[in-house]
A and B are shown apart, each in its own frame.
Chain A
Amino acid sequence: MAGYALVTRTTNQVVRNRGEGLHRKLISLASTAAIPGAASAAYSFNFPEPVTPIARETLHIHNEFMLVITVLFVVVFAIMIYSMIKHRKSSGHAPAKFTGPSGAMQWLWALIPFAILLFIDFILMGIPAVKAIVNMEDTKTQADIVLKITGMQWKWQYEYPEAGVKYISTLATPRDQITNTADKGEHYLLEVDKPVVLPVGKKIRILLTSTDVIHTWWVPQFGVKRDAVPGFLRETWVLIEKPGTYRGQCAELCGKDHGFMPVVVRAVPEPEYLAWLETQKAEAKAANSGADRIWSREELMAAGEETYEKICAACHQPNGQGLPPAFPALAGSKLVNGPLLGMDGKIIPDSHVDRVLNGKAGTAMQAFRNSLSDVEIASIITFERNSFGNKKGDMIQPAQIKALR
């Protein structure tokens, strides 16, 4: 079988705009036809290079089984094609009349393929498969690190519970590349603002859940794919053997931007990982302390705009017009232009603050209380109330959000 060595995509390839891309493709198609093999660098015919024990085992099993089914296919259809050539009316073959096996010899011939298949199913393929399953589901033995992954429409949140670090990772590909108004970069649709960082050579237990619909976390080179189910924890594990950047995508249809929530993992040596974790802890501390001081309106508006672009704009659109009816407009919205807090300083049910903190059941509007910081929530609310033509003129402090939680 073709090994994974075939997967050698040129790394600095940048597709120009659409017209040129097509042009390039036609040339490459033509050259493929002319010199077979010469242009095959861009075509991958098997799994990408495995970097975990599970992925290696999977590739091995896949290659072995492909071989088995290819042999089955060739043998069975060679017999059929032989018959099609030999037993034609035009070659004067007189039809036989038999309707089943007759005699011990023919029964033997009829049962042998059956026995072979039984052997292939339950011994040849079955035993390695069971071993692989047991290995794949071995999430109970001691892991070195726990990583909690939360899927949300349409981004991933990564949390390191032991270190108290968590952040959201979203698509970094600019909008104009998707709409074909700019050149597409090398890692088009497979790049994020903040990749998840993991040490190599450590067993990492991964816990998965979701805040809204079912997502599936998938990195092909890890051989790991597991659903993130809202309200439940699922587990899997990885042990990355080689430093590098590994890319994957959400694999379960999760709504409009399902195709735009990539997974990027940066695997680094342990010391580098620990150093990175320290900087994350410091950043988290700084972000949390944000709730302890008074923010000016300008500061909140600037921070709010930035966070809005990242978290809210996919649904409510950069101009706040939304995509009704699924994603309501914020511009001129009754809810956004309603009162900020009740007379008693508490949250009014179904108000702007309530919606951002607690979401709305049965819709794509999720509860952001667990995924965003006080500063982020306060700045988003302030920004939304004073943008897109909304002129409430009020603002809410991170400290207030902290108190309201």
Chain B
Amino acid sequence: MSTATTHTAEHPAKNYHGGWLRWLTTTNHKDIGTMYLTFSLIMFFVGGLMILAVRAELFQPGLQLMKPEFFNQLIGVHALVMIFAALMPAATGFANWMLPLMIGAPDMALPRLNNWGFWLLPPAAILLTLPFTLALFGIGDGALATGWTFYAPLSVQGGMGVDFAILAVHILGISSIMGSINIIVTIFNMRAPGMTMMKLPLFAWGWLITAFLLIATLPVLAGAVTMLLTDRHFGTHFFDAAGGGDPILFQHLFWFFGHPEVYILLLPVWGLMPHVLSTFSRKPTYGYKAQVYSFIAIGLLSVVVWAHHFFTAGMPVPALIYFMFSTMAISLPLAVLFFCWIATMWKGAMTFETPMLFALGFIVLFGVAGLTGLLLADVAADAQYHHSYFVVAHFHYALFAGGIMGVMTGVYYWLPKWTGHMYSEKLGKLHFWLTVLSFNLTFIPQFFLGLAGMPRRIPDYALQFAEFNAISTVGAFILGLSQLIFAWNIWSCVRGGDKADSRAWEGAEGLEWELSSPPAHHTWETQPVIK
């Protein structure tokens, strides 16, 4: 690995601007990681506030707080903010902070690209949410009101919020692709001498597959929304039957990106889980190779199952059967991961600090997402679940319990390393229990709502859905408020607390734990040698 250019060698450590200019110009992976994570936390609350407004409206039947137009804007922008501005940046923040530490590299391979990748995010987030503010001043009619899926022709008909969202998606996509290139190059070229691919930490493996998926699918999304843009403004007819186009073409293109996106969000978390489980079970990871091969298998399968997102759109029978069975096939490598996670814990010596609690909560609740996903794959039953609250509950088990709780696992696990302080274990546990209980209080009723026949994305509903909606809203508000504990815990951990050892957790293994907590501004300037 001596060929790897060490950017830091040209840059004396002290050559930094002070104040905010430091953050604007930094090329240090730790600084950039911190910015990604901070941005993600802020946007998590922005997206959360939007959906609390939605849940407040849905507390009772009737229109109480907002017009349906505004309701439609909130649900779509909530999803885009949570996916593109909260979950994805959080995973990129983890990668920036931890990958170089874990693989013994002095920094990311492309530090300037790294800086640019981050600084594209704030403008994109502003573009996405600006139409709300503009509407207050009478400009335009608000943000994207089509749901996050942009389905044509509704999005062709929509106001300028759609254009803002299209441009925001473009910028977010460029940022993600740059981040992915950086991660792939770093992993391929900058591993410590002796660290073969099959000695790579699983977190790096998870991210590697995510990075390839992003590069494979984001351009398709970019293409789809560009076609939408030209349909809207330049007289093309990609999605207009009157001009020879097809609205369903948009759904194919969108979900060719959209389905892998689920795994893009989840693979870094799956990569993280074995580290946490092994640490708190004080036992080495079970089935390393099996997990690597499962990541690869899921990555490959994820790009060939997209049409299960629109089974009701009308498809030939062979297509229905193919997409059903290919979707079900994902459960096999996923089952391998579950097996390995539990086998890692088996016969260990477990303790239950906050990261371990979140990891266990993740496994159980993500299990619900996986199992209900098996039901949804069934085309015949899917006709009932589709577009209903059953689906809403299902993907929140995947993306909140799977994605967000996975990120929380990582935050609690690595906070001592990042800050050099231990967070409050008491508050961490309180945060865990409140989150898990209120999450289930919010989303279990939504499974029943879906079965009873409540469609998604409606601002008002029939009386038979009233009870479960009221419960769900109560759960959502507790869930939202509990996250303030999370923010407070992070903030006080940054400010101070008990000193953390370099090996913050008794059972922690890996290069990152050989460095002091917090690590020096530049680390692994001399790469360690792995035997």
Asked whether any CB of chain A lies closer than 8 Å to the CB of B232, the reply is yes
Asked whether any CB of chain B lies closer than 8 Å to the CB of A213, the reply is yes
Shortest Cβ distance from residue A16 to the other chain B in the assembled complex, whole angstroms: 11
Interface centre among B248, B349, B372, B459 (most CB of A within 10 A): B349
CB neighbors of A among B255-292 (8 A): 281-290
Asked whether any CB of chain A lies closer than 8 Å to the CB of B516, the reply is no
Knowing A179-B62, A224-B383 touch, does A129 contact B324 (C-beta < 8 A)?
Answer: yes
CB neighbors of B among A74-109 (8 A): 76-77, 79-80, 83-84, 87-90, 93-100
- Smallest Cβ-Cβ distance to A177: which chain B residue: B62
Q: A80, B345: Cβ atoms under 8 Å? A: yes
- When distances are taken between beta carbons in the complex, the residues of chain A under 8 Å from B247 are 214, 229-232
Q: A255, B338: Cβ atoms under 8 Å? A: no
What is the bound-complex CA distance between A58 and B380, given in angstroms?
6
What is the bound-complex CA distance between A339 and B116, given in angstroms?
57
Q: A21, B374: Cβ atoms under 8 Å? A: no
What is the bound-complex CA distance between A324 and B342, given in angstroms?
57
Shortest Cβ distance from residue A126 to the other chain B in the assembled complex, whole angstroms: 7
- When distances are taken between beta carbons in the complex, the residues of chain A under 8 Å from B159 are 325-326
- Smallest Cβ-Cβ distance to B317: which chain A residue: A137
Q: B383, A225: Cβ atoms under 8 Å? A: yes
Shortest Cβ distance from residue B511 to the other chain A in the assembled complex, whole angstroms: 19
Knowing A73-B367, A253-B146 touch, does A84 contact B241 (C-beta < 8 A)?
Answer: no
Knowing A76-B342, A227-B314, A259-B461 touch, does A326 contact B141 (C-beta < 8 A)?
Answer: yes
What is the bound-complex CA distance between A186 and B342, given in angstroms?
50
- Smallest Cβ-Cβ distance to A125: which chain B residue: B378
Knowing A134-B317, A259-B68 touch, does A178 contact B62 (C-beta < 8 A)?
Answer: yes
Q: B332, A118: Cβ atoms under 8 Å? A: yes
Asked whether any CB of chain B lies closer than 8 Å to the CB of A281, the reply is no
- When distances are taken between beta carbons in the complex, the residues of chain B under 8 Å from A258 are 68, 72, 457-458
Q: A89, B351: Cβ atoms under 8 Å? A: yes
- When distances are taken between beta carbons in the complex, the residues of chain B under 8 Å from A96 are 283, 346-348
Knowing A58-B383, A61-B381, A87-B347 touch, does A364 contact B157 (C-beta < 8 A)?
Answer: yes
Knowing A62-B375, A229-B248 touch, does A362 contact B348 (C-beta < 8 A)?
Answer: no
Shortest Cβ distance from residue A64 to the other chain B in the assembled complex, whole angstroms: 10
The contact of B380 among A28, A129, A190, A235, by CB within 8 Å, is A129
What is the bound-complex CA distance between A364 and B155, given in angstroms?
11
Asked whether any CB of chain B lies closer than 8 Å to the CB of A234, the reply is yes
Asked whether any CB of chain A lies closer than 8 Å to the CB of B205, the reply is no
Q: A259, B460: Cβ atoms under 8 Å? A: yes
The contact of A95 among B287, B329, B348, by CB within 8 Å, is B348
Asked whether any CB of chain A lies closer than 8 Å to the CB of B497, the reply is no
What is the bound-complex CA distance between A22 and B287, given in angstroms?
53
Asked whether any CB of chain A lies closer than 8 Å to the CB of B466, the reply is yes
Q: B68, A257: Cβ atoms under 8 Å? A: yes
Q: B288, A180: Cβ atoms under 8 Å? A: no
Knowing A121-B331, A134-B317 touch, does A214 contact B459 (C-beta < 8 A)?
Answer: no
Asked whether any CB of chain B lies closer than 8 Å to the CB of A388, the reply is no
What is the bound-complex CA distance between A218 and B388, given in angstroms?
10
- When distances are taken between beta carbons in the complex, the residues of chain B under 8 Å from A43 are 448, 467-468
CB neighbors of B among A156-189 (8 A): 177-180, 184, 186-189
Q: B381, A42: Cβ atoms under 8 Å? A: no
Closest 3 CB pairs of A and B: A231-B241, A259-B458, A132-B380
Q: A21-B466, A45-B448, A214-B247 are in contact. List 8 more A-B contacts (CB 8 A).
A: A42-B464, A110-B343, A129-B378, A189-B462, A214-B153, A227-B310, A229-B248, A229-B314
26 A-B pairs within 8 Å (CB atoms) are namely A25-B466, A47-B452, A65-B375, A76-B342, A87-B350, A88-B350, A95-B347, A95-B348, A96-B283, A97-B283, A100-B289, A114-B336, A121-B325, A121-B328, A122-B328, A125-B374, A126-B324, A130-B324, A132-B380, A133-B379, A177-B62, A180-B64, A184-B62, A225-B384, A231-B241, A326-B141
